[in-house]
Amino acid sequence: MFAIAFVPQAVFADYAVQVGAFKDLDRARKLASRVREAGWPVEVRSPLPGSRLLRVWAGPVASREEATALQEALRPFSSDAFIVRLESAPTPASPGTGAPPAVSPETGLRTSGGETPEGVVPLPGTDTDAGEAAAGEAAAGEAAGGEGMDALFGLEEPPESVDAGAAGMDALFGMAGEEEAAVAGGRGIGGYLQSEAAYTFADDPHWSKFRNLAEVHGQGSWGEGNGWWLGVRAWFDPVYAVGDYYPDAVRQDQGFEADIREAYLDFSAGDWDFRLGRQHIIWGEMVGLFFADVVSAKDLREFVLVDFDYLRIPQWATLGEYFKGDFHAEAVWIPVMSYNKVGKYGADFFPALVVPPGYGLEVADDRRPDDTLENSGYGLRLSYLWSGWDVSGFYFSSPDLKAAYARTTVGGSAPLVRYTPVHERVARMGGTFAKDVGAALVKGELVYTMDRPFSVLRLSEPDGLVPLDLVDYVVGLEFTTEQSVRLNFQFFGRYFTRYDADVVPDRHETGVSALISREFPRLRLEPEVLLIHSLNRPDWLLSAKLAWRLDEAWRLRFGVDLLQGPGDGLFGQYADKDRVFGELRYSF
């Protein structure tokens, strides 16, 4: 339901996700750097016997469920990402020593008798979802567990046995005939079919969702570093399209939708990579809430109660990336902005608005800026890997993806307050960091926002909005035990450096979150519980779910979402929207 950050495991790690395969070591390092900056553990793995391709692996993780979620999360980085299955064995000793593999004090990588090129991690036998590959005895001298990642990108020279130039995945599997040609050409079609149902049981019980969804994507490539991706999604929900519980505007908004998820072209030129088109640009990734993820728009018509990869809305953008050693730069320009979706007034998770006593309420249509050069978005992100610390800094300016609600009052015998959603330009600067500390992953994000409009309670303010400056921050710690128990803890807050006493939030808001999940591989079950709680007031969200992987293609998931707190709280505004839900997905 919420974004997942995976940590390395030296034991009980059954799966990883292969993000790419390259003959050229520098290109493998570039892709690994991008994945690492987003907070995912990543390694460059040695070629399989009979192959010359270096593999970029994210993970490992303990369950197929986690691997599938990781694969979907990595789609913005590679349309070729697929799951590999590892040997579930304890980390072996170095050959002939009876001791753990040596660790280089300079690189932090395990070594294996000098047979593996520096910085490239050997591995035991694996097999892929295609069921074609086996690494064999030649690569069985190392564990599948996570290695020190601080030096994966600090390699000086490519190994002599590696040819320059990128390649497809055909050599990984020893395929022949038509299947080999399709893989080598980078072509592929995938997607999923999904049915989701939710029943709201608090206050006024009713069915709040029966969405039937299909998403299909295809991809292809030509030459080195050139490719394309096209994904579309459509859904139909009879609760809205046929039922009459909700207002007409809500029914029209949430009864049916079809859109292009991603549609882009990739090409490379030396140390530069470019992506043009509708795409995800993810600059931050934490559990349960958004902080440094300032570029992506969000579909919040179900608040934050669905998977982050589901609610993120891609941007029509031009993205240029530069790689040099441990340095990575990203420049983005968005000529046509996408904005957050919150639905229509009367929807379950439409934001709460303040209505003075004796006044009626009217909500106008969203007033979005014209698609002009002046209203485009642009930003720059710089990242560097230093002594195991992955740090980044960024600047992004655009019309606010989140609407502020300008207020006007209409007098007469039946006075009312009219709110109009508006998107004023805001600027954000901030940074992120991530560091593996033993078996734990420490992450943090900080964002400073300038001139963001907030609603004030006083009626004397002409449009009910005042510009404020604020700092959002979060620090998280995550680790996984040998019993496949995943634990994540976060402390987060918001501090207004420019404040107005008539806004609803306190000057300094803080909160905590805790997530616990455990995989039961033999039963194919994974329960998960997430709690997010304000420290300023009794305002909280509790989400519990159970996922059952029926087989490699089918997944059943069900659970409950509870939201409680005062009416002006982040979660309390939806205190009457507690619900149970179920979901059935078929992936292909």
**pLDDT tens digit sequence for 528-568:** 999 999 999 999 999 999 999 998 899 999 999 999 999 99
**pLDDT tens digit sequence for 145-183:** 333 333 333 333 333 333 333 333 333 333 333 333 333
Q: What is the mean pLDDT of residues 104-110?
A: 30
What percentage of the chain reaches a pLDDT higher than 90? 56
Q: What is the mean pLDDT of residues 345-358?
A: 92
CA-to-CA distance for 344 and 346, rounded, in angstroms? 6
CA-to-CA distance for 192 and 585, rounded, in angstroms? 7
Residue 35's SS3 state is: helix
Q: Are 476 and 488 in contact (CB under 8 A)?
A: yes
Domains of the chain with CATH codes: 1-93+120-131+138-155 (3.30.70.1070), 270-507 (no CATH)
**pLDDT tens digit sequence for 304-328:** 999 988 899 999 999 999 988 889 9
Q: Are 9 and 126 in contact (CB under 8 A)?
A: no
Average pLDDT, the chain: 81
pLDDT of residue 52: 61
Q: Are 23 and 57 in contact (CB under 8 A)?
A: no
Lowest mean pLDDT among 15-19, 53-57, 166-170, 262-266: 166-170
Residue 221 tokens read as 């490539």
Q: Over 80: is that where the pLDDT of 109 sits?
A: no
Q: What is the mean pLDDT of residues 281-310?
A: 93
Q: What is the mean pLDDT of residues 243-258?
A: 95
Q: Over 70: is that where the pLDDT of 24 sits?
A: no
CA-to-CA distance for 208 and 343, rounded, in angstroms? 14
pTM of the model: 0.74
Q: Are 42 and 441 in contact (CB under 8 A)?
A: no
Q: Over 50: is that where the pLDDT of 79 sits?
A: yes
Q: What is the mean pLDDT of residues 382-410?
A: 94
Q: When comparing pLDDT for 506 and 285, which is higher?
A: 506
pLDDT of residue 64: 76
- Reported as a pLDDT band with limits 50, 70 and 90, residue 11 is very low
Q: Over 80: is that where the pLDDT of 104 sits?
A: no
pLDDT of residue 37: 67
Angle at 398 between CA 395 and CA 403, to 5 degrees: 125
Q: What is the mean pLDDT of residues 253-268?
A: 95
Q: Over 70: is that where the pLDDT of 460 sits?
A: yes
CA-to-CA distance for 434 and 285, rounded, in angstroms? 11
Q: What is the mean pLDDT of residues 556-585?
A: 97
